[in-house]
Structure 1
Amino acid sequence: MTACAIEANRATKTYLSRQDQVEALEPISFQINPGEFVSFIGSSGCGKSTVLSLVAGLIPPTSGEIFLFGRPVDGPSDRISYMLQQDCLLDWRTVEENITLGLEFRGLKNKKTAGHARYLLQELGLGHTLHQYPSQLSGGMRQRVALVRTLAVQPELLLLDEPFSALDYQNKLHLEELLVNVLKGQRMTVLLVTHDLEEALALSDRIYVMGGHPGHIRRTLEVPEEIRQATPLSARDRPSFRPLFNELWKEIDQT
């Protein structure tokens, strides 16, 4: 039997300070299979980013366990890439030097892997920016460069924390399409945290709706086949899309 890519078994998180303790997560359990694209949605402060930090091994659970490909998470893993809302590009490095940064950190940079990074940059329509600096790029272009840097290490698990939220609507849709095109044919598992209900519906195989406080999973939604098989843009035109969006909106409104 193939191990789950991610499994949470009654994981909780409580943050302690000298004066107080804050229960961020009630016991949560979920499973994500290899190759799935799964989103966590919910209102601010419901624990979505805490879930990502637990999976990434950046913080330990207070109780319960998190498993990554069948093994307990005990710290950061080279099998994971993490992309944030901020592009975090280094302004003194060229685009080419930025997209190979993760490869350098992991000791993976060579002719083949650097070539793959340049190929991804070309796929995302930015091959012409190779020798430019981040200050010469628009916000949408910078975020595409950050996505290439994240994918260049060829992770098994991609964690996305509101990666497109700073972009305008047109750039967001464009980057969604590019992401899906790059992921086609790859057995990469993706875990997305987002406030954007449309984005979650258009990209995901399954959605976990979180509520708080403390954070807990209120509902699990399996996205219908007609939406999953469509591109992110055309998914928004499918008959079931708007009714499901309204359901999720009502669910979030109750959190």
Structure 2
Amino acid sequence: MQTTFAIEVDRVSKTYLSKRDQVEALNPVSFRVQSGEFVSLVGSSGCGKSTVLSLIAGLIPATSGEIRLWGERVTRPPRGIGYMLQQDCLLDWRTVKKNILLGLEFQGLKNRKTIAHARFLLRELGLAHTSEQYPSQLSGGMRQRVALVRTLALQPDILLLDEPFSALDYQNKLHLEELLINVLKKRRMTALLVTHDLEEALACSDRILIMGGQPGDIRRSLEVPEELRKAKPLHARGLPSFRPLFNEIWKEIEKP
């Protein structure tokens, strides 16, 4: 029986055009992500990691190649995708309770059932006490948790994450990594993370795709050992296999 992958990127390239010139951002790249898998994209700045996410989300068109989600070709922003950025993008004039409903409003999905689910998520992520507060009253870590609730309220099958915790202090980053992993496993969601933090990629992922070059391409796909996958992100960092694998990925990224 043929397997339907959650994400298929098939010989996809991207060239940005302007009036004066053209910039090749991405060489033809191909990879697949299985249902329920957590994959990280790592690599040097400018190698096309965020471009890959934007292409999968249907925010920009590919120059060549094809992207499929659950076997269906992406031609416009599809439903079933959650996209979380480094900036929380909360609206300062709306309370937390109203901020978490933004995605539902934009997609015309706001109703009694989805509102109840969003409020349930707020409680589940320990934010019920913030519902009547405004973003300016929250810490950076709490704001990102609200942004995560807003994303999960859409009940996505696939979660795209573009450096979502990079602006946070180390303690909050570790806390949100663990929270995210728990949410993904509980809901059996598929996730694709772009990060410059190799420790984060190694502590959270099932598999790591190492990108490089300008225009970018995928140099290597690396399976994370089972002992790291089973451990919580904080504990994974202390296991004997963690540091040698970190150094191996670092050397690959540093190659010209």
Q: TM-score interval w.r.t. the shorter chain? A: over 0.9
Contact 1:123 1:182 in 2 (8 A): no
Please tell me the residue identity of whatever aligns with 2:161: L
Structure 2 residue 163 is matched with structure 1 residue 162: yes
Q: Aligned partners of 1:147 and 1:49: how far apart in 2?
A: 19
Partners of 2:119 and 2:242 lie apart in 1 by 36
- C-alpha separation between the residues in 2 aligned to 1:55 and 1:82? 10
Letter in 2 for 1:152: A
Q: How does 1:141-156 map to 2 (within 5 A)?
A: 141-156=142-157
The alpha carbon displacement at 1:97 in A equals: 0.4
Q: Give the superposition deviation at 1:110.
A: 2.3
C-alpha deviation, 1:200, in angstroms: 0.5
User: What amino acid is the match of 1:207?
Assistant: I
* 1:34 match: secondary structure: coil
Q: TM-score, normalised by structure 2?
A: 0.97
Residues 45-84 of structure 1, C-alpha deviations (whole Å, 9 max, x = no match): 0000010011001111111111111011101011101111
Structure 1 stretches of at least 4 aligned residues deviating more than 3 Å after TM superposition: none
Instruction: Output the CA distance in 2 between the equivalents of 1:204 and 1:167.
Output: 19
Query: Which residue pairs with 1:135 in the alignment?
Result: 136
Aligned residue for 2:195?
Answer: 194
Residue matched to 1:44: 45
- The 8 Å contact of residues 184 and 190 in structure 2, kept in 1 or not, is answered as no
Q: Superposed, which structure 2 residues align to 1:44-193 within 5 Å?
A: 44-193=45-194
Structure 2's unaligned 5+ residue stretches are none
The unaligned stretches of length 5 or more in structure 1 are none
1:42 shift after superposition: 0.5
1:15 CA drift (Å): 0.7
Please list, as runs of the form range in 1=range in 2, the aligned pairs for 1:210-229 lying within 5 A after superposition: 210-229=211-230
What is the rounded CA distance, in whole Å, between the counterparts of 2:125 and 2:255 in structure 1?
A: 38
Query: Equivalents in 1 of 2:202, 2:118: separation in Å?
Result: 29
TM-score in terms of structure 1 length: 0.97
- Count, aligned residues: 255
SS of aligned partner of 1:242: helix
Deviation (angstroms), 1:112: 2.4
Which residue does 1:28 correspond to in 2?
Answer: 29
* CA deviation map 1:187-231 (0-9, x unaligned): 211010000001001111110000011100011100011011111
Amino acid at match of 2:205: S
